[in-house]
Amino acid sequence: MKLFACLNDAENSEIWGRSVNQSDFFFFSGYYVLFAVLFALGFFFHFLIISFLFPFPFFSVKETPAYTLPYSIRVLFESSVRNCDGFLVKEADAMNILDWKTKQSHVEVPFCPARVVLQDFTGIPAMVDFAAMREAVRNAGGDPVKVNPACPTDLTVDHSLQIDFSKCAIQNAPNPGGGEQKPLARLSPLKPPLRKPPPCRGQSGGQSGCRGSCGAGEAGRSSGAFSAQIENTPILCPFHLRPVPEPETVLKNQEMEFGRNRERLQFFKWSSKVFENISIIPPETGMAHQVNLEYLSRVVFDVKDLLHPDSVVGTDSHTTMVNGLGILGWGVGGIEAEAVMLGMPLSLPLPHVVGCELTGTANPLATSIDIVLSVTKHLRQADVAGKFVEFFGSGVSQLSVADRTTIANMCPEYGAILSFFPVDNVTLKHLKHAGFDKAKLEVTEAYLKTVKLFRSDESSSREPEYSQVVQVSLDSIIPYVSGPKRSQDRVAVNNMKSDFQACLNEKSGVKGFQVAAEKQNDTVPVQYEGNEYKLSHGCVVIAAVISCTNNCNPSVMLAAGLLAKKAVEAGLAVKPYIRTSLSPGSGMVTHYLSSSGVLPYLSKLGFEVVGYGCSTCVGNTAPLPEAIRNAIKQGEIIACGVLSGTKNFEGRLCDCVRANYLASPPLVVAYAIAGTVRIDFDSEPLGTGFNGKSIYLRDIWPTRQELHTVEEECVISSMFRELKEKMEKGNKRWNLLEAPESTLFPWDLKSTYIRCPSFFDKLVTAAPAAVENAHVLLFLGDSVTTDHISPAGSIARSSAAAKYLSSKGLTPREFNSYGARRGNDAVMTRGTFANIKLLNKFIGKPAPKTVHFPSGQTLDVFEAAELYQKEGIPVIILAGKKYGLGSSRDWAAKGPFLLGVKAVLAESYEKVHRSQLIGIGIAPLQFRPGENPTTLGLTGREQFSIMFPPDLSPRMTLDVKTSTGKVFSVIALFENSMEITLYKNGGSLNFVARRFL
């Protein structure tokens, strides 16, 4: 290999005795690797002489200056050099990356990330596949013990939490243990539990760092005495998981989580025992991307005295959060993640890199969420889909790491692969704050500067060259929300009232609800807890401060807490029927909310801690009170949910809540207090406080100085240390959980959670089979999301999955969610296209239904697909633009495969989903530019035949014939020969499994 050398300043020469051996694969040719073991400070000048006498034949430093490459591309280059084996990663790959300026988007390059992160919804099917692969290898005569992850993998059990208990009432909780279920007493924010609370885990479990009493004292209910009493509330122990205001709520939710998910958790624990290179982070710890940021991130890996950059891919779409810390990472599907776990590189087109220049200073009222939504708008307009985004400019240094991670976390919503903030002095200060010891920080800084991965704030430093530059002025950013149905539809807060009015007027669509003018001011009276309320269009019924984007950023979470404090002190309250919740991503968030003194005020307004994990975000919201649901349906009210997350698809939160808005945590609290989104905060009060005084948002909005002061006092390095200690020790429930230790998993044929899938039944290679006389299973429109294809929320009682579970003797209370049952292919296949908001053109209205054309019956999608398979008829899917939008979800590809889908014909695809289809063996076909089913006159009732030639090549044009005689051409969206190889092998899982034979 002929790679460039970089000579360093004399001030860096002191680190060469160690770091050259750690980074030689980054800057030195194979020729110099021979000298690496001798490379110490005393040999430095020898190297200069040899370099002078034996110059590189292909290029020199002057011809290819390293500093012109974007920082993210430098990480790709380092990985290609370090992992070059001449087979999976070749010398030419490294040379192509180095020649990025001319080769971008023209070549495919491999990338071997340093590690993999899984969350349990996508992690359990991955681990089930590994267990099934062991079974298949054993059956084929191989050694199943060899089937292990080759890449370090961390799996966080974080998506199984559901809100069974909350502020409003103890809900009609599931009773998985059977028997008579006694009604539970209502919990109130200030009323202590009737039973004596257990001792702090800091006392009983050896947990250190308890900062105060964990008991809740008596507290009255009078508003006049409330402030004085709340000031004397003991500080919450950071990790005893019992918030003072309602100590039973978290424990009850966790008990339900362990009860309903016991089989899954036992499987995870078995995986942690028998598989090498895998670690399981148990429930009650935190969100996958949060844990990834706070605990798993290394920034620089140090393995056997070899330093290299940290990088990661994860099955959570918000893995991109770590890019705010200078760690290259993005979300992939479970199929790709499994391939990486088995030692295969990811293959990606050498990406365009969009430089996003940030200038100016944000408005004091603008939060990180406002900045995110503004950047989202600019980058969507710049068409960054499938590209890297890299931030630079004077404004970058004004953003904290928390701000950066919030921006990077949102990047899937504007379509980029990742959004990268190179490591700089701000990052180093954060790492010191987070508990990195001095020696590690010094090595990290020296290494990153040596290999040109450190961004300098000096004005004289040269910025890299980018494919294009997008400029965003922070000065122009004002508070926004996003909705009512899509995250990219921003609405300025001061225009919210008029925009919602426009949504009522517009025809049904991505924004409109088409409410008749004479009904737009209708109100529906409802009795709730002895009081009468009136619901109207725009009323808020769900308000959730959840974990997806905000808890890593203390400023926005503390802003919500300080706003709550000021609101309570002013005499404001939240109507009791509004389903409010606070779901932090980790105990660290609870810690600083508690130690800052704002947690009791949040609870007073209903935002109590309900647990640690995905809840409202993935549709695990507790049902609304029946009286409220009935009133909404009776009056056809456009009710609203407001949440501080990233997903607001229609029907995701609740089937009767049609408008959902994404907002910053303080605005979530503000809208909950107002009780409606039809409010102009500038001219209308939030409510009436003490003595009948009107209270406006500006009266209780915390200033930046207040936030800065509280953040400095409360967000301290000890929180990071305590979080790590908690994660390393686990918890009592997990530690006592029993699990088998056999090499092969003992499948329980009666289990409804874990089942051996059929993906490895045929480990053979074959030419692509023709698709002949296929019927269209579904005829879909634009922006079909992975949530439409494979929902993650609750299982509807009338669905095919519900019928299956009922046949196994389960009651509706025991159904759990689709996400929790991803280890059972029988449930997930029946749940494919089971979203209640799926719009199939054959049906004409939202419903998980389709037409079985041979019989003319309208059936559940699964039932129709099952009939087609019994008849030996292949099926395809017709779709519009951006098919597979949203979270990467492997079952969005696995499910259609098991339904018998052979190909998808769409106008365009979300990149990750396209690769997932190939990875499971489904052909992604694209209509030619300007063509679609409408222009081609397709009704979807025809039968389709597609021929795949033996010499299939990337982006080859194929002919499609219909039963009506029409012939048209489509593009086979295989981007490289590797994807074609995977498709011929029946997908990546089968391809990798054969390597063990």
With a cut of 90, say whether residue 220 has pLDDT above it: no
Q: What's the CA angle centered on 175, arms 170 and 180, to 5 degrees?
A: 95
Nearest Cα to 539, choosing from 642, 687, 680? Answer: 642
pLDDT at 203: 32
Torsion of CA 897, 901, 906, 911, to 10 degrees: 10
With a cut of 70, say whether residue 43 has pLDDT above it: no
DSSP secondary structure, 762-790, as one string: -----PPPPEEEEEEEEE--S--BHHHHS
pLDDT at 615: 53
Characterise 326 by phi-psi region: left (phi > 0), alpha (psi -120 to 50), beta (else): left
Q: Where are the alpha helices (DSSP H) in 261-315?
A: 262-274, 288-291
What does the pLDDT look like over 333-363, one tens digit per residue? 788 888 899 888 988 889 999 999 999 988 7
- Tell me phi and psi for residue 327, to 5 degrees: -110, 120
The CB-side HSE value for 983 (13 A sphere, CA atoms) comes to 31
Nearest Cα to 638, choosing from 621, 627, 625, 651? Answer: 651
Tokens of 890: 């492997």
CA-CA distance, 316 to 307, in Å (whole number)?
26
Spatial CB neighbours of 144, under 8 Å, sequence gap ≥ 6: 134, 135, 137, 138, 743, 744
With a cut of 90, say whether residue 190 has pLDDT above it: no
| Helix 665-674 vs helix 554-570: crossing angle, to nearest 10 | 30
User: pLDDT grade, residue 250 (50/70/90)?
Assistant: low
- Tell me phi and psi for residue 193, to 5 degrees: -65, 155
- Tell me phi and psi for residue 575, to 5 degrees: -60, 140
CA-CA distance, 611 to 250, in Å (whole number)?
5
CB 429 within 8 A of CB 346: no
CB 358 within 8 A of CB 470: no
CA-CA distance, 571 to 574, in Å (whole number)?
11
CA-CA distance, 608 to 621, in Å (whole number)?
14
With a cut of 70, say whether residue 48 has pLDDT above it: no
User: pLDDT grade, residue 210 (50/70/90)?
Assistant: very low
CB 423 within 8 A of CB 454: yes
Q: Where are the alpha helices (DSSP H) in 899-984?
A: 911-920, 977-984
Tokens of 838: 């799926």
With a cut of 90, say whether residue 480 has pLDDT above it: no
Collapsed DSSP state (helix, strand, coil) of residue 847: coil
pLDDT at 235: 36
Q: Looking at residues 847-868, what average pLDDT do you find?
A: 96
With a cut of 60, say whether residue 245 has pLDDT above it: no
- Tell me phi and psi for residue 788, to 5 degrees: -65, -40
Q: Where are the alpha helices (DSSP H) in 506-614?
A: 554-570, 587-595, 599-604
With a cut of 70, say whether residue 160 has pLDDT above it: no
Q: Which helix (H) or strand (E) holds 480?
A: strand 480-482
CA-CA distance, 819 to 891, in Å (whole number)?
10
Q: Which of 138-142, 540-544, 585-589 has the lowest mean pLDDT?
A: 585-589
What does the pLDDT look like over 663-696, one tens digit per residue? 889 999 999 999 999 999 999 999 999 989 999 9
Q: Of 252 and 712, which is predicted with more confidence? A: 252
CB 376 within 8 A of CB 346: no
DSSP secondary structure, 31-65, as one string: HHHTTGGG-SGGGHHHHHHHHHHS--SS--TTTS-
User: pLDDT grade, residue 562 (50/70/90)?
Assistant: very high
CA 117 to chain centre: 11
CB 355 within 8 A of CB 466: yes
CA-CA distance, 430 to 129, in Å (whole number)?
38
| Strand pairing category for 694-695 and 523-528 | unpaired
Tokens 């006049």: give the residue.
224
With a cut of 50, say whether residue 291 has pLDDT above it: yes
Q: Which of 239-248, 437-446, 531-540 has the lowest mean pLDDT?
A: 239-248
Q: Looking at residues 606-621, what average pLDDT do you find?
A: 67
- Tell me phi and psi for residue 995, to 5 degrees: -65, -25
Per DSSP (E only), the strands in 385-467 are 388-392, 418-420
- Mean pLDDT, rounded, of the chain: 80
Q: Which helix (H) or strand (E) holds 959?
A: strand 957-962
pLDDT at 763: 62
The one-letter amino acid at 653: L
Q: What is the DSSP letter of 586?
A: B
Q: What's the CA angle centered on 840, arms 616 and 891, to 5 degrees?
A: 50
CA-CA distance, 645 to 616, in Å (whole number)?
9
DSSP secondary structure, 972-997, as one string: E---SHHHHHHHHTTSHHHHHHHHT-
Tokens of 830: 């029946």
pLDDT at 793: 81
